[in-house]
Amino acid sequence: MIRIQNISCAYTDTKVLSDLSLHLEEEDFCVLLGPNGAGKSTLLFCILGFVPLSNGTIKIHDRDLKSYKRIELSRLIAYVPQESIFIFDYPVKEIVLMGRYPHLKLMQSWTEEDHLYVEEILASLDLKKLSHRYYSSLSGGEKQRVLIARALAQDTQYIFLDETLSQLDISHQIEIMHLLRDIHNTRKTGILMISHNLNLAADYAQRLIFLKAGKIIGSGSPEQMMQTESLKELYGLDLPLVKNPSTQRMNVLYPGKY
């Protein structure tokens, strides 16, 4: 479990997170939602140890984050950015193999087990046919699948994803959400994902976390959180809701005008 207790964080004189507390179970599928500038990415960076805290503590398995070496953290949490830019262009398989770095010993190269493990991941994500293609030649959806495959190759307890859907068309957004749900169900991997897509979040996640102005204003199941009053508090809009007949979960009806 990841326990975040009363943390605050600032960039120079600008406070981004303020007295924030949250816990993440190992097998949660959570989506973090909130307006632009709410501090969503900063929260991920704090848990990953990229951004120092002004106050508060973060504990992973009852051990303080500060006590972890970077290599230890990379065996616990994999991070998928919106997009990765590589100095050199690599084939897909080489990028996925990079996920095995935290498990290599000093001066060790890829083992046969590493290659077999990556081959299984490529097959499970329908990427084998792309394994020799260069990353730069892929579509946006294919790139995201490759980055998720690299995260899986790390063999971690958690995967964090930062606005993975933001540059994808709706078919690829649904494809990625299906993929994440399958990973969660089959591997029991904890997932924390930042998104602006309320409906996909409600339809696929177990838990929605609402973040506004650096503070958690609500956390619970989609049934608990997809309420008109809660969404108005989060976004300042009266958003009508309707039950999705496929998932039986509440979805937003976007207004044609204010």
Nearby residues of 230 by Cβ (< 8 Å), 6 or more positions away: 210, 218
- pTM of the complete model: 0.92
Tokens of 70: 């970077």
Distances, alpha carbon 202 to alpha carbons 114, 208, 226, in Å: 36, 7, 7
From first to last of the 258 residues of the chain, give the pLDDT tens digit: 999 999 999 888 788 999 999 999 888 999 999 999 999 999 999 999 999 999 999 999 999 999 999 999 999 999 998 777 777 789 999 999 999 999 887 777 888 999 999 999 999 888 999 999 999 999 888 898 999 999 999 999 999 999 988 888 899 899 999 999 999 999 999 999 999 999 999 999 999 999 999 999 999 999 999 999 999 999 999 999 999 999 999 999 987 765
For residue 180, give Cα distances in angstroms to 122, 194, 225: 15, 13, 21
Identify the pLDDT of residue 32. 98
Q: Are 21 and 222 in contact (CB under 8 A)?
A: no
Q: How far is the C-alpha of 88 from the C-alpha of 41, rounded, in Å?
A: 26
Amino acid at 19: D
pLDDT in tens, 108-128: 788 899 999 999 999 988 899
**CA–CA separation, 172 vs 233, rounded Å?**
30
Contact indicator for 78, 160 with CB cutoff of 8 Å: yes
Cβ contact 43:34 at 8 Å: no
The rounded distance, in Å, linking the Cα atoms of 174 and 165 is: 9
Q: Backbone phi, then psi, for 66, in 5-degree steps?
A: -65, -20
- CA atoms within 13 Å, Cβ hemisphere of 131: 15
